[in-house]
Structure 1
Amino acid sequence: MLSIQNLHARIGDTEILKGLTLEVKPGEVHAIMGPNGAGKSTLSYVLAGREGYEVTEGSVTFDGQDLLAMEPHERAAAGLFLGFQYPVEIPGVSNLLFLRTAMNAQRKLRGEPEISGADFMKRVRAEAAVLGLDIEMLKRGVNVGFSGGEKKRNEAFQLGMLEPRFALLDETDSGLDIDALRIVSEGINRFRRPDRAVLLITHYQRLLDHVRPDRVHVMAAGRIVASGGPDLALRLEAEGYEGIAA
Structure 2
Amino acid sequence: MKKLEIKNLHVSVGDKEILKGINLTIGENEVHALMGPNGNGKSTLLAAIMGNPTYTVTEGSIFYDDKDVLAMPVNKRSIAGLFLAMQYPQEVPGVTNSDFLRAAMNARRDKPVPLFTFIKSMEKTIQDLQMKEDLAHRFLNEGFSGGEKKRNEIVQMEMLRPSLSMLDEIDSGLDVDAMHVVAKAINQLRQETKMSLIIVSHYDRFFTMIEPQFTHVLVDGKIALHGDGDLARRIDQEGYDWVYEEYGIIPPENVKPKVKPRSTLGSCAVKDMVSKGEEK
TM-score normalised by length of structure 1: 0.95
Structure 2: how far apart are the matches of 1:163 and 1:237?
Answer: 30
Q: Distance in 2 between matches of 1:190 and 1:70?
A: 29
Q: Which amino acid aligns with 1:202?
A: S
What corresponds to 1:162 in structure 2? 160
Counterpart CA distance in 2 for 1:105 and 1:137 is 21
Q: Which amino acid aligns with 2:120?
A: K
Describe the SS at the equivalent of 1:106: coil
Structure 1 counterpart of 2:45: 43
- Structure-1 residue corresponding to 2:252: none
Greater Rg by CA: 2
Higher relative contact order (CA 8 A, sep 6+): 1
Query: What is the aligned partner in structure 2 of residue 214 from structure 1?
Result: 213
Q: 1:93 aligns with which of 76, 95, 120?
A: 95
Matched, 1:28 2:27: no
Contact in 1 for aligned 2:126/2:135 (Cα 8 Å): no
Residues in 2 aligned to 1:243 and 1:6: alpha-carbon distance in whole angstroms: 26
- 1:39 Cα offset (Å): 0.3
Alignment of 1:106 with 2:104, yes or no, is no
In structure 2, runs of 5+ residues without a counterpart are 250-280
Whole-angstrom distance in 1 between the partners of 2:117 and 2:237: 48
The answer to whether structure 1 residue 124 and structure 2 residue 122 are counterparts is: yes
Alpha-carbon separation, structure 2, partners of 1:171 and 1:6: 24
Distance across 2 between alignment mates of 1:238 and 1:168: 24
Aligned partner of 1:218: which letter?
Answer: V
Once residues 4 and 135 of structure 2 are traced to their aligned partners in structure 1, the CA distance between those partners, rounded to angstroms, is: 35
d(CA) in 1 for partners of 2:189, 2:46: 19
Q: Percent identity?
A: 46
Measured in 2, the distance between the counterparts of 1:170 and 1:191 equals 18
Give 2:58's aligned residue.
56
Over aligned residue pairs, what C-alpha RMSD do you find?
Answer: 1.1
Give the superposition deviation at 1:77: 0.5
Q: 1:65 aligns with which of 40, 64, 67?
A: 67
Give the AA of the match of 2:78.
Answer: A
Alignment of 1:191-206 (within 5 A): 191-193=189-191, 195-206=194-205
Question: Matches of 1:104 and 1:141 in 2, distance apart?
Answer: 19
- Report the Cα distance in structure 2 between the residues aligned to 1:204 and 1:47, rounded to whole angstroms: 23
The alpha carbon displacement at 1:99 in A equals 0.7
Displaced runs of 4 or more, over 2 A: 193-196
What TM-score does the superposition give when structure 2 sets the normalisation length? Answer: 0.84
Query: How many residue pairs were aligned?
Result: 242
